Amino acid sequence: MVISATTQAIGSTPVFKFSKENYPLPKDSVIYAKLEHLNPGGSIKDRLGKYLIEEGLKTGQITPKTTIIEPTAGNTGIALALVALHHHLKTIFVVPEKFSVEKQQLMKALGAEVINTPSEEGIIGAIAKSKELAQSIPDSYLPLQFENPKNPDTYYYTLGPEIIQELGNQLTSFVAGIGSGGTFAGTAKYLKEQIPSIRLIGVEPEGSILNGGVAHPHKIEGIGVEFIPPFLADLPIERFETISDDEGFYYTKELARKSGLLVGSSSGAAFAAALREIERLPERSCVLTIFADAADRYLSKGIYL
């Protein structure tokens, strides 16, 4: 495929098949992983960045003079910066200090301004700061992925159809991490419409609150919530799997050493949860998970040490 813009390479990512031939899975079962870390910006959020900016341009919410402002843990910022660069738009991202240095460097490499908020304020503090900036900067656009229904729409209209086209109706379960909730909600809604029997399993790190736990810091990045995402409200979710930092990092290393997959710690957590789901299912079941981003943005976090 020949392209003239990096945005043209977003989506149509491959699916990796784990089976007894290449991984010690029980019960003749299969785990499929959608390799979203192979998007040009290194994460599944490239789909969101492209969708939000293109929709904003269509509706007139974004003009050539617009400044895009967004609170982000990093990947959405990288994605928005990548697409904004293509359209010659200015970007400002508000990032809690605790998130990876690499992500912040990548945003800056793509021309973005990065403003840090105190780690202890979490993403809620970043959201508040972003809203403050949007009020003070003329012709600014605040997509606000945590509240914007276009977030799940992105994955309902792109990722969901790709999965069905590639895998058909053979899937038993969909297991994926939850951060903003957009990827999970949009994809799950589409899959449930196509495969009514599919089980929906959300994944969070210890320190997230979906299973009723108390919010506290965790090393797994990209998933985990400090408040319940509104996009999950009407989904028939089977359960949430809570994964420790140690288990998530363990499987992140396993995926690199056994399968050559250089993915982030949220992917390790998703794979751990997919393995748990396989144990609950009958023989010859098929579980789908998402490997959301690449390892290169977490090397300073010691994921391979």
Which pLDDT does position 301 carry in this prediction? Answer: 86
Q: What is the mean pLDDT of residues 144-151?
A: 94
Residue 34 a catalytic site member: no
CATH topology of domain 45-141: Rossmann fold (3.40.50)
Domain range list for the chain: 6-43+149-301, 45-141
Cα 69 to the chain's mean position, in Å? 19
Binned at pLDDT 50, 70 and 90, residue 125 comes out as very high
Q: What is the mean pLDDT of residues 177-192?
A: 98
Which pLDDT does position 81 carry in this prediction? Answer: 98
Does pLDDT of 228 surpass 90?
yes
Which pLDDT does position 42 carry in this prediction? Answer: 98
The pLDDT tens digits of the residues spanning 248-277 come to 999 999 999 999 999 999 999 999 999 999
Q: Tell me how far apart the 2 most distant CA atoms of the chain are, in Å.
A: 59
Joined together, the tokens standing for residue 68 give 């895009």
The pLDDT tens digits of the residues spanning 108-123 come to 999 999 999 998 898 8
Which pLDDT does position 36 carry in this prediction? Answer: 99
Q: Is 299 exposed, middle or buried (0-12, 13-18, 19+ CB in 10 A)?
A: middle
Does pLDDT of 203 surpass 90?
yes
Binned at pLDDT 50, 70 and 90, residue 302 comes out as confident
Joined together, the tokens standing for residue 196 give 């009514």
6-43+149-301 matches 45-141 in fold: yes
Which pLDDT does position 73 carry in this prediction? Answer: 82
The pLDDT tens digits of the residues spanning 50-90 come to 999 999 999 999 999 999 999 998 899 999 999 999 999 99
Mean model confidence pLDDT for the chain = 96
CATH topology of domain 6-43+149-301: Rossmann fold (3.40.50)
What share of the chain has pLDDT > 90, as a percent?
90
Whether the Cβ atoms of residue 225 and residue 264 lie closer than 8 Å to each other: no
Torsion of CA 243, 247, 251, 257, to 10 degrees: 170
Whether the Cβ atoms of residue 20 and residue 28 lie closer than 8 Å to each other: yes
User: What does the buried/exposed string (b/e) look like for 186-218 if buried means 16 or more CB atoms within 10 Å of the residue's CB?
Assistant: bbbbbbbeebeebbbbbbbbbbbbbeeeeeeeb
Which pLDDT does position 122 carry in this prediction? Answer: 86
Binned at pLDDT 50, 70 and 90, residue 100 comes out as confident
Binned at pLDDT 50, 70 and 90, residue 6 comes out as very high
- Spot the catalytic one: 17, 27, 34, 45: 45
Angstrom distance (rounded) from CA 75 to CA 49: 9
